[in-house]
Amino acid sequence: MTREELEHIIRASADITNQYEFVIIGSQSMLGQVPNPEKVFTVSMEMQKIRDPKLD
């Protein structure tokens, strides 16, 4: 997964849930800090996210 793909998922999640802050967990969370990681780090096509319970 690339950073662009991650951003797309976040935008789609925001549109569906009307939430605009998510906590990204798992291996794809590094894309927030490293926008262009080495190819070996972009193999996974899964992203885990949770809603921030402080926003309720």
What was the pLDDT predicted at 48? Answer: 67
Dihedral in degrees, nearest 10, Cα atoms 56, 3, 37, 51: 10
What pLDDT is recorded for position 8?
A: 92
pLDDT at 26: 80
Q: Is-above-0.85 flag for pTM?
A: no
The whole-angstrom separation of Cα 51 and Cα 36 is 25
Q: Tens digit of pLDDT per residue, the chain (56 long)? A: 888 988 998 899 899 888 888 888 888 888 888 888 888 877 877 766 666 667 66
